Amino acid sequence: MDITPFTPGCGAVVSGIQLAGLKCDDLKKLRNAFSDYGLLFFRDQKLSKEDHVDFAERWGSIVLNKFFQSAEGYPNIAEVRKEQHQETNIGGGWHADHSYDKEPALGSILVARSLPDRGGDTCFADAANAFDALSPGLQQTLEGLRALHSNEHLYGEDGYYQKTDLSQQLGGMDRVGGATHPMVIRHPDSGRKVLFVNPGHTIGIEGWSNKESFALLNFLYGHTEQDAFTCRFNWLPGSVAFWDNRRTWHLAKNDYRGQFRLMHRITLKGVPLLGTT
Ligand code: SIN
């Protein structure tokens, strides 16, 4: 197995293995790489839907997405689908999956199933490396704060998706909700400090006004979105991305108008997140 950084500040490419039927030793090496990088890319995988579920179950427990449709016959696989006629895509803004849950998801394993001729890349950001680059003064301030996360503004009755052509596809408006988490977490596996806010789901800082919250949050978003901490992955048939939701954000580009794109996503159950103080 070969593990090479993808960009200096974001992700790694793993080559020389097939995720289907992975040997125990290789799984161990992969766990270490996941802890080191928080974002792994694989090419040329032969991963059936069964293999996708098997690999996910070897890693941990699967958590179902409350809003997406699942692949027929596979309740554990969420479909990230955009039809030819649809204008809106799922996950088109920076976000971390399920950060609005009390136990935010460990990670997501995304498999390319049908790709547009061109376009449809996914961008990623590494919020652990972004945190490390902040000044010690700001780091200390952030470590004492908690942020509120929600999905209501996206999936609720008056939410963003209800006003788009995805409204029929993204069900479960009755399941909206949120949680608060430390703004800086101690990563449960690597022990690193990670900035745990994201533009998609963070709706404010506990005890701060909206105006105050977004003055700081927008600064942190601009900081994290810099080239130094981000990368852009170009999907090919057989590509797989596996990211840590506690450490990374992602954004699906919507630059393939008039073409079909289908991805299969399995999300893994996480644990309650603890702060650093
Ligand atoms: C997602 O937000 O999980 C979808 C990412 C993608 O479709 O590239």
Per-residue pLDDT of the chain (277 residues; tens, 9 = 90+): 999 999 999 999 999 999 999 999 999 999 999 999 999 999 999 999 999 999 999 999 999 888 889 999 999 999 999 999 999 999 999 999 999 999 999 999 999 999 999 999 999 999 999 999 999 999 999 999 999 999 988 888 888 888 898 888 887 777 888 999 999 999 999 999 999 999 999 999 999 999 999 999 999 999 999 999 999 999 999 999 999 999 999 999 999 999 999 999 999 999 999 999 8
Residue with CA closest to ligand 1 atom 1: 91
Separation of 114 CA from ligand 1 center, angstroms? 13
Residue 166 contacts residue 86 (beta carbons within 8 Å): yes
How is residue 69 annotated by DSSP? Answer: P
The structure's pTM equals 0.96
The CA 208 to ligand 1 mean position distance, Å, reads 31
Sign of torsion over alpha carbons 7, 10, 12, 13: negative
The answer to whether 142 touches 276, Cβ cutoff 8 Å, is: no
Indicate the residue type of 13: V
Beta bridge partners of 244: 107
d(CA 244, CA 83): 27
| End-to-end CA, the chain | 37
Distance 250 CA to ligand 1 centre (A): 7
Any idea where the domains of the chain sit in the sequence? 61-234+246-268
* Burial environment of residue 168 by CB neighbours within 10 A (0 to 12, 13 to 18, 19 or more): exposed
Is 201 near ligand 1, meaning CB less than 6 Å away?
Answer: no
Ligand 1 nearest-atom number relative to CA 80 = 7
Residues with catalytic roles: 95, 97, 250, 265
Q: Is the CB of 89 under 6 A from ligand 1?
A: no
State the Cα–Cα distance between residues 106 and 244, nearest whole angstrom: 6
Spell out the alpha helix ranges (H) of 187-233: 210-224
Identify the residue whose C-alpha is closest to ligand 1 atom 4.
91
CB 98 within 8 Å of CB 107: no
- Tell me which CATH code domain 61-234+246-268 carries: 3.60.130.10
Q: What are the structure tokens assigned to 275, written together? A: 């702060």
